[in-house]
A and B are shown apart, each in its own frame.
Chain A
Amino acid sequence: MMQEKQEETKSTNKKSTARSQGLYKAIWRWHFYAGLVFTPLLLILAVTGGMYLFKPQIEERLYHDLYHVQVQSQYVSPSAQVQAVKEKYPGADVLTYKPSDRSTRSSEVGISLKDHTYTIFVNPHNGHIIGKLDDSSRLMNQIEEFHGELMAGTAGDRIVELAACWAIVLIVTGAFLWWPRKKDKIKGVLIPRFSKGKNVLARDLHAVPAFWISAGMLFLVLTGLPWSGLWGNAFQQIATNAGVGYPPSIWVGSAPTSTVQTKDVADVPWGAETLEVPSSTAQQYTKVSLDDIVTIAKERHIHDGYTISIPQEPQGVYTLSVFSPKAQDEATIHLDQYTGAVLADYRYGNYGFMGKLIALGITLHKGTQFGFMNQLIGLIMCIGIAGIVISGSFLWWRRKPAKNMGAPKVPEGNAMRIVTCIIVVFGILFPLVGLSLVMVWLLDFFVIKRIPALKRFLNA
C-alpha cells in the first residue's frame, strides 16, 4: 500500500490523485470485506473441487471389485439382468439400467428401495449380482454434495452460489487493486518482490499469483454458475426459451410424453378389449422391452456409457442419456414407452450456442474434456485458489491492528458511491448478491451504525 501511495503522490494533479486514491480505497474496502466473509467458502470449494476432479480414478480404485468382471463370450439379456435384481430386491422400483460398455465391465441397475436409491452391479455375462452401493453414501457423491451445496440442501446451494458470485466481485476488485500504476513495471505485478521486506512480499504473494490464476478462477466460477440452483436455473430457462440453450428436458423443461395407447382400445373392436378380463389388463400396447430399447440405442449410435431411465408412469418415456467426458459426445434421447418411437434425440450439435458453451464449460470445469491434462490444470487452479485464499487471510492477519478489523476507511467524496453503484448493478444481475447487499445494509443501518464500538471495530 505504501508503495502505491508514494507513486500516486508524484502525480501532478492533486485533485485526480485524491479521487483515484478514494476509488482505490473504496474498491479495497469491498475486496476486504468480501474476502473476509467468503474465505472459508472459497477454501471449501477449492478443496472439494480438487478432489472431485479425480472422481474417475478414485471411483475406479474404490469400486474396483464392483466394476470389473471376467470376460466371457456369453451375455445375458438386459431384461434378464434386471429380472435378477427384481428377484433379489422384490420391493424395489427399478429406475435405471446402464449397460456394460465393455466386456470386462459390470452393468448397473439403479433401484429405489425404502426412500433410498442404490446401484446394483450385475455381471452381464451370467446375470449374477456382484454387489450394491447406497448412492447417498458414495464418497464422490458426498464430495459433490459438499462442493455444490455444502451438504445443506437448497440453503447450501444458495450459499455456494452466493460465494461464486462474490468471487467474481473479488476477482474484479482484486484485478483493480493489482493493476500496475506505473508503466513497464514487472516486479510486484508479474513476479513477487522478494527483497523489499516482509510486508511487500506478503502482499505480492497474494496479488501476483492471484493475477496469474485469475482468468482460470473466473472461468471456473462462470462455468460453475449455470448449474447453480437460483441464478443458474433462471439463466438456463431464459436460454432454453430463447432457443439458444439446451433443448428442453436436458437441464430445464420437461420431456415429451408417451402417448398412452389404452384409449385406442375403446374405439377399436379387436384385441384385448373384447376379452372378458379386468379393465386394468386391457392395455392394447405393452411397454417396449428393455432389450428392444438397448437395440434402438445401438441403432442410434449413442455414445457408450449411456444410462436408460425406465418410465415409472403411464405417460413416461424411456430416456437414454449420456454425459460423456467430452461434451461433443453427449446425447439425450426420449422414446415412447409403448412403441419405441423417438420423441426427441438431442445431441451436442442440436444445442443452441449457449447450450454448447455451457456443456463445454461443464466438461472443462469437471476436468473431463481433455483427459488427464484437463484434470491437472483443474488441480493447479484449485491449489492456486486455496493458496490465494490463505495468503489473503494471512495478509489481513499481518496488517490487522489489535483493536479493529483493519478495514480500509470509507473514503470521502464520490468514489465510494461510484463503486457502490457498480456493485448494485452486479447485485441486479446476480439477485443473490443483491439480496446479500440488502441484508448487509440493513445490518449496517440498524445495528452497526448504532453501536459505536462495533462501528469502530469495522471501520464503518
Chain B
Amino acid sequence: MNKWKIPGLVILSTILLSACSVNSNADQLYKQPKPLSAHVMLPETIKPQSTQVLEVHVMQENKTVDDAKSVQFKVWKTDAPEKVQVANAHYNGSMYTAKATFEEDGIYYIKTDINARGEHILPTYQVAVDKLSKEDLRSLQPAENETHHHHSHH
C-alpha cells in the first residue's frame, strides 16, 4: 500500500492542479479560425463636394489577400442612413481602391464590406467632413452605427 502513496499523490495533485483553469492556448487544440483583417486608408481631410480615393489592404494570416470575391465601400451620412453610396473596389496590385463622393459637411460612415475566402468582414469608420458642428460632435459620442428606422422587406 505504501509504495503507491507518493505516486498516487503526485498524480492526484497534477490532476487537481491542471483543473485549476483552462490553459490560455487550449484553443489551439480545436478548430482554428482564419480571420481576415483590413487596414483601411482614408484621406487625411475630406472637404465637402469632393471625390475621394478610398483604399483598403486586406490580410489573412499576415499575408495580403488579392483574390477577394468582393470589396465594397458603403458610404452614408449619419442623418441619412437610407441613402447609401456603394462603390465597388478593385485590386491595384497591393490594395483594393474605389472612389466615393462626399456632398455635404457632417459625419459620414464608411463601411468596408469585404468578402474573401469564405470570410466576411465589415470594418466601419466614422469620419468627419469639414468642420463639425456642436451637434455633430455630440452625435459622435456613442460609436454605434445602427441604421435606425431602416425597413427591409422579406
Contacts and interface: CB of A to CB of B under 8 A. Distances in A.
A245 B146 CA distance: 37
B84 interface: no
Contact of B122 (A259, A283, A292, A342): A292
Interface string A411-452: 000000000000000001000000000000000000000000
A243 B152 contact: no
Contacts of A289: 124, 144-147
B19 A274 contact: no
Q: What class of interface size applies to chain A in its complex with B?
A: 35 or more
Interface centre among B16, B23, B27, B37 (most CB of A within 10 A): B27
Given A237-B21, A286-B125, A341-B35, A269 B44 contact: yes
Contact of A287 (B22, B128, B143): B143
Contact of B22 (A77, A240, A345, A352): A240
Contacts of B153: 73-75
B127 interface: yes
B26 interface: yes
Interface in B100-154: 109, 119-128, 132, 137, 140-141, 143-154
Given A274-B45, A341-B36, A296 B120 contact: yes
Contacts of B145: 286-287, 289
Contact of B27 (A247, A268, A287, A340): A247
Contacts of B119: 341-342
A241 B23 contact: yes
Contacts of A58: none
A234 B14 CA distance: 12
Nearest to B143: A286
A350 interface: yes
A77 B122 CA distance: 18
A237 B128 contact: no
A287 B124 CA distance: 7
B31 A270 contact: no
A235 B15 CA distance: 10
B1 to A, nearest CB: 10
Contact of A286 (B31, B36, B126, B154): B126
Q: What class of interface size applies to chain B in its complex with A?
A: 35 or more
Given A80-B148, A243-B29, A275-B128, A234 B37 contact: no
B33 interface: yes
Contacts, number: 164
A237 B125 contact: no
A243 B108 CA distance: 46
B18 interface: yes
Contact of B37 (A275, A341, A346): A341
A252 interface: yes
B122 A76 contact: no
Nearest to A293: B122
Contacts of B18: 237-238, 241
A168 B82 CA distance: 62
Contacts of A74: 151, 153-154
Interface centre among B20, B31, B45 (most CB of A within 10 A): B31
Given A83-B148, A275-B128, A428-B12, A234 B19 contact: yes
Contacts of A339: 35-38, 121-123
Nearest to A268: B41
B18 to A, nearest CB: 6
B22 to A, nearest CB: 3
A261 B44 CA distance: 18
Given A74-B153, A241-B23, A288 B35 contact: no
A333 to B, nearest CB: 10
A291 interface: yes
B22 A286 contact: no
B86 to A, nearest CB: 15
B43 interface: yes
Interface of B: 12, 15-16, 18-23, 26-27, 29-31, 33, 35-38, 41-45, 109, 119-128, 132, 137, 140-141, 143-154
Interface of A: 73-77, 79-80, 82-83, 233-235, 237-238, 240-243, 247-249, 252-254, 256, 259, 261, 268-272, 274-275, 277-278, 280-281, 283-292, 296, 299, 336, 338-346, 350, 352, 428
Given A77-B148, A350-B31, 6 more contacts: A75-B153, A233-B19, A252-B22, A259-B37, A274-B44, A281-B141
26 contacts: A75-B153, A79-B146, A80-B151, A234-B19, A247-B31, A249-B27, A261-B123, A268-B41, A270-B43, A270-B44, A271-B42, A272-B128, A277-B128, A281-B141, A283-B143, A286-B126, A288-B122, A289-B147, A291-B146, A299-B120, A336-B121, A339-B35, A341-B37, A341-B121, A342-B33, A344-B27
